[in-house]
Structure 1
Amino acid sequence: MNTQTLRFLPAVLSALAACAAPAAAAPAPAPPDPVVFVHGWNSDGTAWNTMAARFRSDGWPADRLHQWTYPTAQSNATTAEQLAAVVDRVLASSGASRVDLVTHSMGSLSSRHYLKNLGGDAKVDAWVSLAGPNHGTGTARWCGGTSCVEMRPGSAFLGALNAGDETPGPVRYATWWSSCDMINQPAGTVALDGAVNTRAPCLQHTAFTDDAGVYREVRDHIGGAAPRAGS
């Protein structure tokens, strides 16, 4: 082997070693935002059992799914204050910077109050309203209590909630409604200026949380399918 060959040998060996080195492992995907589910009037957290199970099947860790229950007769403003505390606890325990809120019916109102008036827009990435009476519903005249009064068209609560920007902050807002929903009258009450408003198939009011098609659209809105463990 001549002197010129020896001179280049270290560089050749170094290049061969680099080629033989194992590739660096790809970084683990970031976990999805925690999801806080907010049910509607005269309901509880079990209303989300079917949807939460679908999220788990699509890779969401069980500890990122929170089916919260609250007293539905109280003012939506009171519920919003309680929701604020729930979100803070979820962020602290998960280490996440933001949550996603998935709401049904009256749950849309307390969560919107939280976003608009209690600083929630800085802690929420995506917000979902399934059949939410965002501009009031005439059927609320048939139930009593503070929360029902607040759901009636023209209520002071709704007037303040809908004044100015209906979708404040950087939150990604989306609503789903159906012309077959006999609870929300008129059906146009659900849609919000500045939101992605989707007309669902012919669904009754309580069917939104269990419908497979609505679930897929909600999942994609809040961030797409999470990676399955081990994938």
Structure 2
Amino acid sequence: MPTHTRRTVLIAGLAMAVAVTMLTACATAPSPSTTERPPIVFMHGNGDSAALWQTTIWRFESNGWPRDRLFAVDQPMPLARDDDTIAQAGRTSTAESAAFLQTEVDKVLKATGASKVVLLGNSRGGNTIRNYVQNYGGAGKVSAVVLGGNPAHGIWNVPGFNERSEFSARSALIQQLNMPKGPSGEEVTPGVRWLTLRSDNNDKFAQPDGVWIGAPGKPTNIGYEAPALKGATNIVLPRVDHRETSFSPAAFAATWQFLVGEAPKTTAVTPESTVVLDGRLTGFGLSSLDPASGQFTNNLPIVSAQLTVYATDAGTGARTGEPVHRKTIGADGRWGPFTARPTMAYEFEITAPGYATTHTYRSPFPRSSSVINLRPERIAPADRDASAIVIFTRPRGYFDAERDTMRFDGQAALPGVPPRGSGVSSSKIKLTSEAPRSVAGEFNGERVAGQTWPAAQGNITLLELTY
């Protein structure tokens, strides 16, 4: 991959990076009033869902952006094809992904009466946004774009290695998107303000070594700066991981500064007195081409699944009484609305044919949200010898043993998490006793406690972090 000259500014201070000095490729936008805030459409990454934008949306709301101007979308089939030119069950091409976003933006413009939207994308979502803006009429409907951890120049640039994947620097999409568009070789579509956010060296998909793509020790010919784009404002966030380029407080602060022209009042989440939760309950599909190959992620509803919510003791995860909410999932996939107590921890129990009964435990919700998406788990064949199974997961970032303070069931070393690097977002323990007991996961001050359940009866415990 050629090294491009890019304007880059380093933001110091991961947690509270609110004093941002921009070296911009375009003028800083004036600060609009609250009533003039444009609608924002949030596009998730490969295999992900709208749920990952939960805390980002909370931070926008906490700084006065109207809730009805914030739209996080769920792409039904969020995984990219292995080869963009060949149809693949349960996966989408770059063209299909861009067409999906085109439809969603048109819906938002019609619903709000706005003339243009702002687009925020993480990872593959950035490819989708760039393709939409450049090739699907988005340039006239988008005022600004923010891309976090976007593989703008690919994840690998290796001759003969899966060159038709959209993540290859040699793919038709990446080559076309990065063609010069101005006298200085700009790689971004003109008429739209562009911001890229990247890690200094901690993004698993912007690494010179192929360790995170299954080729340790092999050069990817991609550098840490690969997510930056010539013609954009390019910001480096120290030590953030791939997902944190979009979902961390530092990413929010840089995004707000870029859009509004001044630092946000806060990067914290401001609590609400009344909290109403909702989201979609979706599942996994089995590959029709090769069922033995396992499952693929999708954002399709599990119709007729049962969702039961229990209030729990935050210290132990034990239920404190009878169910506080029940729902049979319909065609829209929605499991709410549910009025929650903002200081209460909850267990979400999911039962659905073909899945384990999944007991998902979450820490209290300080604000309302309509993107609390839930998925049941399946028991892997290798785990069927366990008496109980507990998974500790961080959807909006990765575990970094060198950077983070973590404990899982009392142990500082999380199973499956390497001693160096940010590339694993979940850890699993297999217990040898069916006797129910409390189990907790801790990460940088957030603690989630749950109860174990017998695996032989088809149960899994999931401890899911919010931050």
Give the TM-score, by structure 2 length: 0.40
Match of 1:15 in 2: none
Other structure's SS at 1:167 match: coil
Matched with 2:366 is none
Q: CA deviation at 1:31?
A: 2.7
- Superposition map of 1:31-180 within 5 A: 31-70=36-75, 71-73=78-80, 74-138=92-156, 149-165=165-181, 166-178=187-199, 179-180=201-202
| Matched position secondary structure for 2:61 | helix
Letter in 2 for 1:162: N
- In 2, Cα distance between the equivalents of 1:161 and 1:78? 16
- Aligned AA (1:108): G
3-state SS, counterpart of residue 208 of structure 1: helix
Distance of 1:93 and 1:54 partners within structure 2: 23
Q: Contact 1:122–1:169 at 8 Å: present in 2 too?
A: no
Which structure shows the bigger proportion of residues in helix conformation?
1
Once residues 120 and 190 of structure 1 are traced to their aligned partners in structure 2, the CA distance between those partners, rounded to angstroms, is 21
Question: 1:205, 1:139 → 2: CA distance?
Answer: 19
Q: Measured at CA, do residues 53 and 118 of structure 1 come closer, stay the same or move farther in structure 2, by a change above 3 Å? A: same
Q: CA deviation at 1:213?
A: 1.8
Aligned partner letter, 1:182: K
Q: C-alpha distance in 1, partners of 2:129/2:189?
A: 12
Q: Distance in 2 between matches of 1:226 and 1:217?
A: 8
The Cα of 1:139 is off from its aligned counterpart by 9.9
1:175/1:190 contact within 8 Å kept: yes
* Alpha-carbon contact 2:257-2:263 (below 8 Å) kept: no
What letter matches 1:36 in structure 2? V
Shift in Å at residue 222 of structure 1?
1.8
Cα distance between partner residues in 1 of 2:113 and 2:263: 17
Indicate conservation of the 8 Å contact 1:60/1:226, yes or no.
no
Q: Which moved more, 1:216-225 or 1:82-91?
A: 216-225
Counterpart of 2:224?
187
Larger radius of gyration, structure 1 or 2? 1
CA distance in 1, matches of 2:244, 2:205: 12
Deviations 1:174-218 (A, max 9, x none): 101111112223222111110000111111112223311220110
Which of 97-106 and 163-172 deviates more? 163-172
CA distance in 2 between counterparts of 1:210 and 1:162 reads 25
Q: Larger relative CO (CA 8 A, sep 6+): 1 or 2?
A: 1
Alpha-carbon distance in 1 for matches of 2:54, 2:127: 21
Instruction: Identify the match of residue 203 of structure 1 among 232, 240, 257.
Output: 240
Structure 1 vs Structure 2: percent identity of aligned residues?
Answer: 34
Structure 1 residue ranges without an equivalent (≥5): 1-27
Give the whole-Å Cα distance in 1 for the aligned partners of 2:263 and 2:156: 39
Point out where structure 2 has 5 or more consecutive residues left out of the alignment: 1-32, 81-91, 182-186, 208-222, 266-467
Change (3 A) 1:114 1:62: same
Secondary structure of 1:202's counterpart equals coil
Change (3 A) 1:157 1:215: same
Letter aligned with residue 141 of structure 2:
K
The structure whose residues are more often strand, as a share, is 2
Question: CA-atom RMSD, angstroms?
Answer: 2.5
Structure 2 residue identity aligned to 1:210:
F
Q: Measure how far apart 1:153 and its partner are.
A: 1.9
Question: For residue 97 of structure 1, what is the amino acid of its counterpart?
Answer: S
Preserved contact between residue 121 and residue 168 of structure 1 (Cα < 8 Å) = yes
TM-superposed CA distance for 1:72, in Å, is 2.5
Superposed CA deviations along residues 113-136 of structure 1, whole A, max 9, x for unmatched, are 111111111111110010100010
SS at match of 1:188: coil
State the distance in 2 between where 1:101 and 1:33 align: 10
**Distance of aligned partners of 1:139 and 1:208 in 2 relative to their CA distance in 1, 3 Å threshold:** farther
Q: Does the 8 A contact of 1:59 with 1:225 survive in 2?
A: no
Alpha-carbon deviation of 1:227? 11
Q: TM-score, normalising length from structure 1?
A: 0.78
SS in 1 for 2:144: strand
